[in-house]
Amino acid sequence: MLSRREFIAKGTGTAVTVAAAASTGLLAGCANSAASHPPTVSSFHDLAGPRSLRAHARRHGLVYGSAVVIPVVQRNADFASLLSEQCGILVPSNELKMVALRPSRDAFNFGPPDFLYDFTQRNQMLMRGHTLCWHESVPGWIRKIDNKDDIKQIFMDHITTVCKHYAGKLHSWDVVNEAIDQNSKLPGGLRKSFWYDNLGPEYIDLAFHTARAADPDVKLTYNDYGVEGDNDGDAEKRRLILEMVKGMKSRGVPIDAVGIQSHLNAGMKYGQGVGDYIEAFRQLGLEVYLTELDVNDDKTASSDLAERDAIIAKTYTGFLQAALPNPAVKIVITWDLSDRFTWLNGIGSHRKEQPNRSQRPLPFDTDFKPKDCFYSLRDSFDRRKRA
């Protein structure tokens, strides 16, 4: 049995077979039994084991993984197998957000994330937590409370209880998600939010201190989007986040890593800006995680699938070429693994230009076949200097 530190240092294990997954009870409740499946989902196209994303990442000092919608993992055995084959780390897309986890003040819905944690352990994967504090995930019951002390107590109790529940188990936590928003026009570029309004700007430091007190080892991360591009808006947001993080470090706030969500736009060029941003955190002694990588191609005019996939793949490659050379980057996570489950098809605003066209932002298509961007990811991992 490896200790947690040894396990995390080890990074990833090898791909498991469907049969092995079945023998551990992974497929319990799924309609298809192991007997009717090939040994691994993608051995069909020869992408398993040493040829998987997880193995290529690991060889270059990275851990590759995916966000998942937990019920999908529970009901789709093929997909569960693909995840264990390709991923060294998983993160629940929604189930650890406060809205999902806290149906009421007294209730904690740990069932689904606990299932995922067990799944990761059976498959020698890491798990990260997303997220303890996010302006978009504030339960209705807490919004009804008009006593600021009470709200502060709930905020701290929430972080303490959730972090303690997983203490010693997770790779990292997105402690605070998306706290910067230039449009709010607040000091430091802070976003106007329920937490800001009720707790003041100190809520960010408080969240990190509270998380550290509850789990001394987990990597505490600040995560945000809109920092990837070489344009003025993204440059300004990078500056604001860097200032905020420097301030936290100078006050002794326990922060270990910065997450770059990496929701990219097809055809856009990514380079110097994100490269310098990562280097600035490396110089502060922080790790950097690409936490939610995908490519939105709503604005691509061509509807030819091969053309679209080629543009998406090129976007992946350009971004990863800018980000991966820096040794501070330790984690690359795509926001799901298959186009079948991408969030970009769930939210209308992501399909404004092409409302009748499905997005295809991820390494595997809706039939779990690898796409051009699978190879972009794998080749980009290979181009990184060996760790």
Instruction: Pick the closer one to ligand XIL by CB: 52 or 94.
Output: 94
* Cβ proximity to ligand XIL, 94 vs 315, nearer residue: 94
Catalytic annotation, pick one of 85, 178, 228, 287? 178
Active-site choice (85, 95, 287, 292): 292
Interface residue with ligand XIL among 17, 93, 123, 262 (CB under 6 A) is: 93
| Binding residues with ligand XIL: total (CB under 6 A) | 7
Q: Which two tokens stand for residue 185?
A: 């026009």
DSSP 8-state symbol, 230: S
Decide: is 195 part of the binding site for ligand XIL (CB under 6 A): no
**Residue 106: which residues within 8 A CB-CB, separation 6 or more?**
none
**Rounded Cα distance, 323 and 305, in Å:** 27
Question: Cβ 383 to ligand XIL, closest distance in Å?
Answer: 27
Examine the residue annotation and report whether 95 is marked as an active-site residue of this protein.
Answer: no
User: Least CB distance from residue 162 to ligand XIL, whole Å?
Assistant: 16
The residues with which 176 forms a beta bridge, in sequence order, are 133, 222
Q: Please state the closest distance from residue 240 (CB atom) to ligand XIL, in A.
A: 17
Taking CB atoms, the residue at the shortest distance from ligand XIL is: 343
Q: Both tokens of residue 23?
A: 């023998």
d(Cα 259, Cα 223) in Å, to the nearest integer?
Answer: 4
Interatomic CA distance for residues 349 and 346, integer angstroms: 9
* Distance, CA of 264 to CA of 267 (rounded, Å): 9
Catalytic: 228? no
Cβ closest to ligand XIL, residue 315 vs residue 342 = 342
From candidates 94, 262, 300, 338, binder to ligand XIL by CB under 6 A: 94
Orientation of helix 232-250 relative to helix 203-214, angle to 10°: 60
Give 34 or 266: the residue with its C-beta nearer to ligand XIL: 266
**H helix intervals, the chain:** 4-10, 18-23, 53-58, 70-75, 77-86, 98-101, 111-122, 140-143, 148-165, 194-199, 203-214, 232-250, 272-283, 305-323, 372-383
For ligand XIL, give the closer residue by CB, 119 or 134: 134
Rounded least distance, CB 181 to ligand XIL, Å:
13
- Which pair of tokens denotes residue 369? 């076949």
CB 374 within 8 A of CB 332: no
Q: Which of 270, 343, 368, 374 binds ligand XIL (CB under 6 A)?
A: 343
Q: Please, what is the minimum distance in Å from the beta carbon of residue 346 to ligand XIL? A: 6
Q: Which is nearer to ligand XIL, 216 or 346 (CB)?
A: 346
**Does 261 contact ligand XIL by CB under 6 A?**
yes
Q: Take residue 259 and report the two structure tokens written for it.
A: 């997450």
In single-letter form, the type of residue at position 316 comes to Y
Q: Do 335 and 292 form a contact (C-beta atoms < 8 A)? A: yes
Establish how many alpha carbons lie within 13 A of residue 76's alpha carbon, considering only the half-sphere containing its beta carbon.
19
Site string (275-314) toward ligand XIL, x via CB under 6 A: -----------------x----------------------
Residue matched to tokens 């040894």: 6
Kindly state whether residue 172 participates in binding ligand XIL, applying the rule CB under 6 A.
no
Sign of CA dihedral 196, 200, 206, 208: positive
Token pair for residue 165?
């529940």
Q: Which is nearer to ligand XIL, 40 or 234 (CB)?
A: 234
Q: Provide the minimum distance between the beta carbon of 117 and ligand XIL in the complex, in angstroms, as a whole number.
A: 18
Residues lying near ligand XIL in the complex (CB under 6 A) are found at: 93-94, 177, 261, 292, 343, 346
| Catalytic residue numbers, as ranges | 178, 292
